[in-house]
C-alpha cells in the first residue's frame, strides 16, 4: 500500500444515504491484517443502519460486513465479519460485534481486521462470489447445521426464499443431502430456487394456506427469518420431535398456538451469525461441494445508492455485490 488515503462508502448521518468519499486509509495494528478489498456485498443490516433501524449506530462510518480481496503478499482471502465471538461456541459474548458497525467495514478499498478473521478464498469462486459468502453463509450454516442439526434425507422448509441467507440455506441443505421445500410470493424467485435444486416450491401469495398443501408432519426442520403468521403455519407441518430455527423477524411479532408445540415435543431454537468454528466449517462445506453463492447483481462502487435501493426493495434473489476499484 503506497497511498495514505482511499475511497470508501460512508454513512455520515442516518437518513443521509451512502456516499463515496476519500478518507484516511486504515493502519493495521500488530494483530491485524490489511486487506485490499476487491468486492463487497450488501446485507439487510446495511440498509437498516442507513434508516436508523439498528442498535448502536455511530456515524460517520464505513459500512459493509462482507468482503473478499488480497493481502499485501498477494494471497486471496475472504473475511469473517463476526468480531469477538468469545470462548463459548454455543453463544456469542456480550462484547461481540459485526464488521461494518460500529467498526469500519468493507465498503472501502482497504479494511484492517483481526488476522484470525482472514481465511483463504475458495479457489473455485470469483472475488464477487467470495464476497457474497461471509455473513449470509455463516448465518445459514449455523442455523441449518450447528443449531438445526440437519441430516441427510430430512426435509427442510425454507420460507421466503430469495434473500442471501435463505438461498444459502437451500444450497447447503441440498449439498448435505436434504430434501427442500421453499416458499415465495414471486414465481421468478421460485423458478430460480428450482434451478438451485429446490424439491418443492410454493407461491404463498397465490396460496395463502400454503401449509395445507403439505402433509402434516412432513417437515423435519424449519429455518425461518420472518416470524409472523409464517411461523404459526409452520407448526402444523413439522413432525413430532422436529426443530424450528429462527434467525430473524422481518414480520416482527409472532403469535402461535401452544398445543402443537408441547404435544409434538418441538424444539424452537434461536441463532444469529456464528462462531469462528462455524465459519471454518462453512468454508470447508463450500470447498468440498464447490458451492457457488447466488449473486443477484453486481454494481460498481460508484453505484452504491442503486445497490442499496435494490436491497431495500427486497426484489433480489441472492446477494447484491459491489466491486471495489
Domain of residue 29, CATH code: 3.90.180.10
How crowded is residue 229: how many other Cβ atoms within 10 Å of its Cβ? 15
Residues 142 and 80 in one domain: no
Residues 317 and 214 in one domain: no
Residues 74 and 162 in one domain: no
Look at residue 251 and tell me if it is in a domain: yes
88, 118, 164, 276, 302 from 279: Cα distances, Å? 15, 11, 16, 5, 30
Residues 68 and 87 in one domain: yes
Is residue 57 exposed (0-12), middle (13-18) or buried (19+ Cβ within 10 Å)?
middle
> What pLDDT is attached to residue 227?
85
How crowded is residue 294: how many other Cβ atoms within 10 Å of its Cβ? 25
> What pLDDT is attached to residue 230?
86
Residues 154 and 84 in one domain: no
Residues 129 and 235 in one domain: no
Q: How far separated are the first and last CA of the chain, in Å rounded?
A: 14
Residues 144 and 41 in one domain: no
Confidence tier at 1 by pLDDT (50, 70, 90) = low
Model pTM score? 0.96
> What pLDDT is attached to residue 108?
98
Residues 111 and 52 in one domain: yes
Q: pLDDT tens-digit profile of 90-133?
A: 999 999 999 999 999 999 999 999 999 999 999 999 999 999 99
Strand partners, 245: 223, 269
Look at residue 28 and tell me if it is in a domain: yes
pLDDT above 70 (res 2)? no
Look at residue 61 and tell me if it is in a domain: yes
- The average pLDDT across 56-82 equals 97
Residues 83 and 149 in one domain: no
Look at residue 287 and tell me if it is in a domain: no
3-state secondary structure the chain: CCCCEEEEEEECCCCCCEEEEEEECCCCCCCEEEEEEEEEECCHHHHHHHCCCCCCCCCCEECCCEEEEECCCCCEEEECCEECCCCCCCCCCCCCEECCECCCCCCECEEEEEHHHEEECCCCCCHHHHHCCHHHHHHHHHHHHHHCCCCCCCEEEECCECEHHHHHHHHHHHHCCCEEEEEECCHHHHHHHHHCCCCEEEECCCCCCHHHHCCCCCEEEEEECCCHHHHHHHCCCEEEEEEEEECCCCCCCCCCCCHHHHHCCCEEEECCCCCHHHHHHHHHHHHHHCCCCCEEEEEEHHHHHHHHHHHHHCCCCCEEEEECC
Look at residue 282 and tell me if it is in a domain: no
> What pLDDT is attached to residue 217?
92
pLDDT above 80 (res 314)? yes
Name the percent of the chain lying above pLDDT 70: 99
Q: pLDDT tens-digit profile of 229-240?
A: 888 899 889 999
56: left (phi over 0), alpha (psi -120 to 50) or beta: left
Write the CATH number for 165: 3.40.50.720
Residues 87 and 183 in one domain: no
Residues 233 and 307 in one domain: no
| C-alpha–C-alpha distance, residues 78 and 246, integer Å | 26
pLDDT above 70 (res 49)? yes
Look at residue 284 and tell me if it is in a domain: no
Look at residue 184 and tell me if it is in a domain: yes
- The average pLDDT across 12-35 equals 97
pLDDT above 90 (res 81)? yes
Q: pLDDT tens-digit profile of 150-181?
A: 999 999 999 999 999 999 999 999 999 999 99
Cell of 114: 483481526
Residues of the domain holding 174: 138-270
Domain count, the chain: 2
> What pLDDT is attached to residue 65?
98
Look at residue 21 and tell me if it is in a domain: yes
User: How high does pLDDT run on average in the chain?
Assistant: 95
Residues 24 and 104 in one domain: yes
Amino acid at each position: 500500500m503506497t497511498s495514505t488515503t482511499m475511497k470508501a462508502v460512508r454513512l455520515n448521518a442516518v437518513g443521509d444515504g451512502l456516499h463515496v468519499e476519500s478518507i484516511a486509509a486504515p493502519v493495521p495494528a500488530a494483530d491485524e491484517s490489511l486487506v485490499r478489498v476487491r468486492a463487497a456485498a450488501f446485507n439487510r443490516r446495511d440498509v437498516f443502519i442507513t434508516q436508523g433501524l439498528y442498535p448502536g449506530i455511530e456515524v460517520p462510518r464505513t459500512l459493509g460486513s462482507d468482503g473478499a480481496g488480497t493481502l499485501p503478499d498477494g494471497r486471496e482471502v475472504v473475511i469473517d465479519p463476526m468480531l469477538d465471538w468469545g470462548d463459548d461456541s454455543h453463544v456469542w459474548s456480550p462484547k461481540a460485534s459485526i464488521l461494518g458497525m460500529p467498526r469500519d467495514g468493507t465498503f472501502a478499498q482497504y479494511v484492517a481486521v483481526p488476522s484470525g478473521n482472514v481465511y483463504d478464498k475458495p479457489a473455485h469462486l470469483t472475488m464477487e462470489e467470495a464476497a457474497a459468502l461471509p455473513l449470509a453463509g455463516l448465518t445459514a450454516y449455523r442455523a441449518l447445521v450447528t443449531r438445526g442439526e440437519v441430516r441427510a434425507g430430512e426435509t427442510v422448509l425454507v420460507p421466503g426464499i430469495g434473500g442471501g441467507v435463505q438461498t444459502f440455506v437451500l444450497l447447503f441443505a441440498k449439498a448435505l443431502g436434504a430434501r427442500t421445500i421453499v416458499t415465495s410470493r414471486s414465481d421468478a424467485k421460485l423458478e430460480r430456487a428450482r434451478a438451485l435444486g429446490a424439491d418443492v416450491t410454493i407461491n404463498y401469495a397465490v396460496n395463502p394456506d400454503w401449509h395445507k398443501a403439505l402433509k402434516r408432519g412432513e417437515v423435519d426442520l424449519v429455518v425461518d427469518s420472518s416470524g409472523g403468521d409464517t411461523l404459526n403455519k409452520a407448526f402444523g407441518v413439522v413432525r413430532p420431535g422436529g426443530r424450528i430455527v429462527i434467525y430473524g423477524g422481518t414480520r416482527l411479532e409472532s403469535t402461535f398456538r401452544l398445543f402443537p408445540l408441547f404435544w409434538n415435543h418441538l424444539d424452537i431454537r434461536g441463532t444469529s451469525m456464528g462462531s469462528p468454528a462455524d465459519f471454518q466449517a462453512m468454508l470447508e462445506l463450500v470447498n468440498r461441494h464447490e458451492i457457488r453463492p447466488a449473486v443477484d447483481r453486481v454494481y460498481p462502487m460508484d453505484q452504491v445508492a442503486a445497490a442499496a435501493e435494490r436491497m431495500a426493495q427486497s426484489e433480489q434473489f441472492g446477494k447484491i455485490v459491489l466491486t471495489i476499484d
